[in-house]
A and B are shown apart, each in its own frame.
Chain A
Amino acid sequence: MAKERSEVKDIDRSLYDFRYEEKEEDFYKVREGLTPEIVREISREKHDPEWMLEFRLKSLDIYNELKIPEWGPDISGLNMDDIVTYVRSKTGMQAAWEDVPSDIKDTFEKLGIPEAERTSLAGVGAQYDSELVYHNVKEEVLAQGVIYTDMESALTGEYEGMVREHFMKLVPPTDHKFAALHGAVWSGGSFVYVPPGVKVEIPLQSYFRLNAAGAGQFEHTLIIVSEGADLHFIEGCSAPKYNVANLHAGCVELFVGKNARLRYSTIENWSKNMYNLNTKRAICEEGASMEWVSGSFGSHVSYLYPMTILKGNDSHCEFTGITFAGAGQNLDTGAKIVQLGERTSSFINTKSISKSGGESTFRSALTIREGARDSKASVSCASLMLDDISRSDTIPAMDIRTNEADVGHEAKIGRISDDAVFYLMSRGISEEDAKAMIVSGFADNVSKELPLEYAVEMNNLIQLEMKGAIG
C-alpha cells in the first residue's frame, strides 16, 4: 500500500533572490584575494587613521598564521583568492532616501526597509556590499543624545576616541582566523551609543545586503549601552544567490553598562552560496541584561555562536534561537556564555529544523568560573528532523568551576510526535494541518520574541505548508 507522506516546503527565497546587475562604472572594487597591498588600498579608500591601518596589517599577519578550524562544517569551497573584500557604490552614503541610487533603492524597497522605518523604527542603516548607502535617525532619538551612525563616520569623526577604546577589544583578531580576517578588511557597519539612563522606546535597525557576486561583507557593529540605558537593535541580512562563493565575516561588539539592557535581534537570510562566518560578542556589567534573538535561515555554511560575558554581579543573559537548515545547507549555530560575576544567570533556548538534506548543528559552551557564586544557568535545545535524508546534531559543552552554581541542561532530537498528531486528529484536524500546527508551534518561542514585522517575515520564511504526496 502506498504510504502517504507529509512534507514541509523549503523556505521561499524568491523575495531575496532578485538582483540588479551592477554596472562596473557605478562601483569601486578591489581585486580578488588578500594581500597587504589590498589591505592598504581598502584603508586608503576609507581614509583610516594611521592606527587603523597598522591594526589592519597586524590582523592580516595574524590571519596568515592561524589555522582554519577543524571542528566545524567543511569550508574548503571558500577560497580567499577568489573573494573581493571591498565593493562600494560610487555615490556614497545618503541621509535622504530619494538620493539613494535607484537600483539600490529598489532593492531595499523590495525588502521593505523604508516601510519598516516609517512604521516601526527609530533609525535605519542600510548597507549595500561594503558600505552603508543610507543612514537616518529620528529627531526625537537624536534629541535623547543617542548616537547612531556608520562606523566610518564614527572612526574619522568626533567619536574616534570611543571607537579606538572599544574596537575589536571584545573580539580580538587573535580570537580565530576569521576574526583576524575581519580586522584586516572590515568595512561598513554601525556605531551606536546610548547615553546613561536613556531608554530608546522603538528599535534601531541595520540591514545588510550583499549584492556583488564573489564578494565578501565585513561590517563591524559596535554598540555601547551606558548605565541604566535600554536599547533594542535589529539586524537583518540577505543576498541573491550566485554560483560562486560569497563570504560574510562580520563582527558585532556589544558593551552593556551597569543596569542597562540590550536586546539584539537578528534574522539572517543569506543566500545558499554564502559562507557565514560571523562573530558576535557582548559583555555585561553589574545588573546588566543581554537578550539575543536569532533566526538563522540562509547561508550555505554557517558558523554562528553569539557569546556573552557576564562580568558584573547580577548580570543576566538570554539567548533564543531558531535554525532552519534546508537542501544544501550546513548550519552550525548556537551560543557561548561565560559567567564571571556573582549571582549571574543565563538561559539558552534553541530550536532547529532539518529537512531536504539540510544539516543543522547546535553547539554551545557554558562556562561558570570560580568567582561566579550563586549563579544559575539553563541550556535547552530541541531539534526536529523532517525527513530521513537530513541531519541534526547537538554538541553542548558545560565547564563548571564553582560548587555554588545550579546548572540544568536538556536536549531532544526527534521527529514529529505520532501521539501529538493522533491527539490533534482525534479533535477533527487533518493530518497535514496537525503536522503544520506542530511545526509552527515548535518555532513559536522564537517568533513571539521578535518584533511583529519580523515575526511575519519569519513565518514567510518558513512556509509551513503541508501537502499530501504519495511516497
Chain B
Amino acid sequence: MKINSLKSLTWNALKLNEVILEDKIVLNGSGKATVEKIPAGAMIGNESCSDCGGCDLKSSFNIRSVKCGMGEEAEAFFAEASKDVLMVHARPGRSVTEPVSIRYLMENGDSNADRVEIHAAEDSSITVIMDYSSSKREARGFFGVQTKIWVGRNAKVHLVKVNLLGSGFLCLDDIGVFVEDNGYFDITQMCLGGGRNYIGLSAALKGYKAEFNGDMGYLCLNDQSLDMNYYIAHTGRKTGSSLNVKGALRDRAGKNFRGTIDLIRGAGGAHGNELEDVLLLSDGVVNKTLPVILCDEEDVEGTHGASIGRLSSDMLYYMQTRGFSKYEAELLATKAKLNSVRNLIKDEHTHGRIQYYMEEAFK
C-alpha cells in the first residue's frame, strides 16, 4: 500500500517521496472503540452524519468526500476494513463543554481498523479525545484509524490524539479536515507508543478566514519509527495555518517529517507557518525533515523553520552547573518539549496517562 505521498516530489534517493507498506494486514476485529460518555450538545452514532437529522445540513455537505493525508490507497483500505463509521456530532450553535473521549484498548494480537467522523455544525464547538493504548508495553498488533472532520461556519473543533500503544504495534493514523468560513480546527497529537507509526493529515482551508493549528509531540526510543505527512491547502482568502512539531529521538529510532503548506491562487491574505524542533539523543538515530512551501499566490506569507540536533552547549552548561548530569539534562529537556504539547490537552485523566507512560519509558 502506497501512503504519505508528497505533493511535490523530490530526489528519490532521499526516500521521502512516499512510503510503500509491504505488511500484509489481517484484521481480526478486536480492540473496538469505547466512548466513555456523551456530553450535552454532542451526538454519537454509527451512521452517516448526513442522515442524523441533527442539523440543517446543506445538500452539498459530504464528509465522506474529505481527503485524508495518507492518500487514495489508504482511503480504499479503510473503506474496505471498516464498514461502520463512528460519528461524533456537535449540534448547531452548541458549545460542548466536556470533551468526547474515544478510547481504543489494543492488546497483544489485536488487529483493527476504524473510521471516525467528526462534524461540528455552524457556531458549535467540540473537543474530541482519541486515545489508543495497550496495557502491556511489548504488545504487538495492528491499529488503524481514519478520522474525517468537517468544521462548519464559525465552528471550532479541538481534536486530541494520543498514541500509547505497545511497542510491537503498526499504527496508521489517517486524518482529513475540511474547514468552512471562520472555522477553527485545532489538533494536539502525542505519539509516544507504537512500533511503526504512520500519520497522514490533509487539511483543506476552504472558507474565508478558516484556521488550522497543529501541535505534535513525539518520542521515539529503541527501534521505534514515525513517519508524518502533513498537507495544508489554503484555498480560502485570509486563511491561516500553524504547525508546530517537536520531539526527541534516541537509540536507533527514526523519524520522517513532511510538512507542506500549499498557498493556492486565490488565497489572498493567507499565511502559513510550520516549525520543527528535534532533539537528537543518540548517534544511531535517523532524522529526516522536509518542510515544503508551495506558493502561486502573491498576497500571502509562508514561513518554515527547523532546529535539529543535540541540546545546546549553553543549555547543557547551565544545567551542569546546577548539578544535573548530561543524561539528566537531556531527559529534562525532552520532558519539557513533550510537556509543552501535553499541556495543551485540557483533560486530567489523559494528562495522567501520558505522564505515567513517559515516566515508564525513561526508566
Contacts and interface: CB of A to CB of B under 8 A. Distances in A.
Main secondary structure of the interface of A (DSSP, over half): strand
Interface string B295-336: 111111111111111101000000000000000000000000
A357 B191 CA distance: 42
Interface stretch (B103-111, B160-168, B207-215, B278-286): B278-286
A398 B309 contact: no
Contact of A397 (B14, B282, B298): B14
Contacts of A396: 290-291
Contacts of A402: 280, 283
A398 B306 contact: yes
B289 interface: yes
Contact of B288 (A393, A394, A398, A409): A398
A393 B284 CA distance: 32
Given A409-B305, A411-B304, A393 B293 contact: yes
Nearest to A71: B9
B265 interface: yes
Contacts of B298: 385-388, 390, 415
A370 B285 CA distance: 9
B149 interface: no
A402 B285 CA distance: 7
A471 B4 CA distance: 42
Given A410-B304, A411-B304, A411-B305, A390 B10 contact: no
A7 to B, nearest CB: 12
A415 to B, nearest CB: 5
A383 B307 CA distance: 20
A397 B16 contact: yes
Given A404-B310, A405-B310, A407-B308, A395 B299 contact: no
Contacts of B10: 71, 363, 365, 395, 397
A355 to B, nearest CB: 10
B300 A393 contact: no
Contact of A370 (B283, B296, B303, B309): B283
B228 to A, nearest CB: 14
Given A397-B14, A398-B289, A413-B300, A385 B306 contact: no
Q: Could you say which interface size class chain B belongs to?
A: 35 or more
A412 interface: yes
Contacts, number: 132
Q: Could you say which interface size class chain A belongs to?
A: 35 or more
A399 B295 contact: no
A303 to B, nearest CB: 11
Contacts of A406: 308-310, 312
B294 interface: yes
Nearest to B249: A403
B284 A410 contact: no
Nearest to B278: A400
Contacts of A220: none
A392 interface: yes
Given A370-B283, A393-B8, A411 B291 contact: yes
Interface of A: 70-71, 363, 365, 370, 383, 385-388, 390-415
Given A407-B308, A413-B301, 20 more contacts: A365-B11, A383-B295, A387-B298, A388-B265, A388-B297, A393-B295, A398-B288, A399-B287, A400-B278, A401-B285, A403-B281, A406-B309, A406-B312, A408-B307, A411-B291, A413-B295, A413-B300, A413-B302, A413-B303, A414-B302
